[in-house]
Amino acid sequence: MKTKTKTKQKILKVLAICILFLGNSQLMAQTVTTTDVITQTVCVNTLAEPYEVIYVATSNYAWSLVDQSTGLPPAAGVANITPSANDWLIYIDWNQPGVYELSFVETDAATLCEASPVVLTITVEDNSNAPIASNPAPICLGDPNPAMLATTGGGTGNSVFNWYADNAGSPGLLLIANSSTYTDPIPYPIDNTYTYWVTEESANGCEGTATLVSVIVTPLPLAPTLANLPYEACFGLTNPLFTASGVGTNFNWYDNLGAQLANNAVTYTSTEVTPGTYTYFVEEVVGSCTSQQATFTFIIHTPPAVPSITPLIAGLPAITICEGEIPQDFVATGGGGTFAWYDSDPVANPGSVAVGNGTPFTPTQTAPGIYDYWLTETNLTTTCVSNVAAATFIVNELPVAPIVAAAPSAVICDGDLNPIFTAAQGTGSTGTSTFEWYDDAALTSQVGTGLTFQPTQTVVDIYTFYVIETNSTTGCDGLQLSFTFEIISLPSAPTYTPNPHEICYGDANPALTPTGSNLLWYDIDPVANPGAVAIGTGASFTPPVSAAGNATTVTTYPYWVVDQPGTCISPPLQVDLQINPLPTPGPIWHN
């Protein structure tokens, strides 16, 4: 805060003390009525502001501070009271804007009589905002010093501006007070950046933080320099960017006739498109100064002819393979330059990076697809690049392994009719539903073609076959699928002894228990009668009571039993139950 503000505050404090001291009583505060209003205005961030009473030695003094926005003592850090060694003197740090009431009560130490509180209303005003002040445009050494302008930063600012030579004293050395503009009266001796600080005061003199203002004094510029010389381009391609450098960024560009092409521009691109050599001039302007002109040329070269590529398919450069095969090479022919191969068109995509150089060139893709390559030739002298020649590399996808289904089953019993295997395309296959069948993994022994295949083997064994799908358009063979065909031997027929099993008429029918692990019983021959239904299962079978025979003749009841331990059923065994008649005894004779 400035000295004049401090002086104003001290006057207010003395006035407050004088008012408090009016009257002759020891409890002089009692002479101040409630209509007496004592006020003070201080700036925020005023620290250790003293408040004192011209004390009476026989009195004690109690101080209090109330924030008028809350009716309560201010929170810590808002307005802090620091007591001194004497109760009639305190210090206050004013940290936050607002309105506060500072009061004290005087108490006679002997009688303990208290005077009415004496109140001082204190307005803590916020410092003004930093003013708005832009740097003036740079000037050339020797130009008149520019005027610097400040405008209010708002807040409590009152458009009272003070200019300083430095900020060392926050602010520092005062150059001029109460002025919205400032021009340094001393010409700048050398090119440099000169700095100033400007502040703004509130109506009550609360001065805010300073705004830095810089004056840039530029040296007299030299003739510009040009980057990336020489400037050359190939016919049909983008012209290069002419780039000037110097003290600043303000450059004027001219053609060989003196016509201005661009101003205040670091770069310029020629509009010429015809092969030839063109002359240009560029100068730099810094402040009010203009440099000497720099002269340079721009050449547009004729590009090489388009190179040719072999091999050809249908008259166009192309190579076609099946997935997994090794491709042949592309071979380039041109005018003696260097070749570059791309997997994206370098004309449409100027940032493309070559994937190969020279000739021949081997495509690298292995995944199925159609891949395009572009070839350019570069002239070794001019570095100009030809237009592109295009070639196509096709990797045809292999058909996927087929799906095979057997009807009725891939596993049969000895003597059964061999199944028919039917092939179908695998999901997403690129084949043409043409299938080839083989009995060896090397696919050298073909045993069938078409959608179906029926093995001819009849001997009990396990046989392995292979099927592939081909693409009749691309000629690519798909992945093979292996599958098996099994002929299972029949289990042995059950055995039973004695057979026939004989009993006497009237005996209970016996349980028949032939050998076998999973027996099925029939009352008719299941071989002669394929639709026969089993009348019993299990390791034993007891003929029903209806198989009772008769008392006079031999009666035979045939049954057939088969064993089915797995899929296959054994030949049947006929087991006969023979019921023999009882003998017919004669009468007993006696003499």
Sequential pLDDT tens for the chain (591 residues): 443 333 333 333 433 443 333 332 222 332 333 344 589 999 999 999 999 999 999 999 999 999 999 999 999 999 999 999 999 999 999 999 999 999 999 999 999 999 999 999 999 998 899 999 999 998 888 889 999 999 999 988 899 999 999 987 667 899 999 999 999 999 999 999 999 999 999 988 898 899 999 999 988 889 999 999 999 998 988 899 999 999 899 999 999 999 999 999 999 999 999 999 999 999 998 777 888 899 999 999 998 999 999 999 999 999 999 999 999 999 999 999 999 999 999 989 988 999 999 999 999 999 999 999 999 999 999 988 899 999 999 999 999 999 999 999 999 999 899 999 999 999 999 999 999 999 999 999 999 999 999 999 999 999 999 999 999 999 999 999 999 999 999 999 999 999 999 999 999 999 999 999 999 999 999 999 988 999 999 999 999 999 999 989 999 999 999 999 988 999 999 999 999 999 888 788 876
Judgement on whether residues 120 and 13 belong to the same structural domain of the protein: yes
CA–CA dist 192, 38 (Å, integer): 53
Cα dihedral sign for 300, 304, 305, 308?
negative
Tracing tokens 């009692």 back to the chain, one arrives at 30
For residues 452 and 438, give the distance between their C-alpha atoms in angstroms, rounded to a whole number. Answer: 12
- Beta 192-202 vs 267-269: how paired, if at all? unpaired
pTM confidence score: 0.44
Q: What was the pLDDT predicted at 289?
A: 84
10 Å CB burial of residue 25 (0-12, 13-18, 19+) is exposed
Helix-strand-coil split of the chain, %, nearest 5 = 5, 45, 55
Is residue 131 situated within a structural domain? no
Name the domain boundary from 248, 269, 301.
Answer: 301
Q: State residue 19's pLDDT score.
A: 37
Enclosing H/E stretch for 4: helix 3-20
Q: Is residue 426 part of a domain?
A: yes
Tell how strand 118-125 and strand 139-140 pair up: unpaired
Integer angstrom CA distances of residue 578 from 33, 454, 557, 558: 147, 48, 6, 9
pLDDT on residue 172? 82
List, as one string, the DSSP characters of 520-535. Answer: EEESS-TTT-TT---S
- Residue 326: other Cβ atoms inside 10 A: 7
Structural domain contains residue 396: no
Among candidate residues 147, 154, 148, 155, the one with its CA nearest the CA of residue 133 = 148
Domain for residue 287, yes or no?
yes
In one-letter notation, the amino acid at residue 225 is T
| 410 in a structural domain | yes
Paired residues of 390 in beta bridges: 374
Same domain assignment for residues 15 and 92:
yes
Going by C-alpha positions, the residue among 107, 101, 65 that lies closest to residue 82 is 65
Q: Please tell me the distance from the alpha carbon of residue 349 to that of residue 360, in angstroms, as a whole number.
A: 24
292/344 same-domain check: no
Final residue in a domain of this structure, among 488, 511, 546: 488
| Last residue in a domain, options 67, 90, 125 | 125
CATH number of the domain that residue 510 is part of: 2.60.40
pLDDT of residue 270: 97
* Domain at 233, CATH number: 2.60.40.10
Tell me how far apart the alpha carbons of residues 577 and 113 are, in angstroms, rounded to a whole number.
141
| Structural domain for 533, as ranges | 493-591
State the CB neighbour count (10 A cutoff) for residue 52. 17
Angle formed at CA 137 by CA 134 and CA 141, multiple of 5 degrees: 135
For 313, residues 6+ apart whose C-beta sits below 8 A from its C-beta are 319, 320
Class of residue 420 by CB neighbours under 10 A (exposed 0-12, middle 13-18, buried 19+): middle
252: burial class by Cβ within 10 Å (0-12, 13-18, 19+)? Answer: buried
- How far apart, in Å, do the first and last CA atoms of the chain sit? 173
pLDDT value for 499: 95
Give the pLDDT of residue 524: 96
Counting every residue, how long is the chain?
Answer: 591
Q: How many CA atoms lie within 13 A of 585 on its CB side?
A: 3
CA distances from 419 to 106, 438, 453 (A): 123, 16, 9
What token pair was written down for 94?
Answer: 């004013």
| 391 within domain boundaries | no
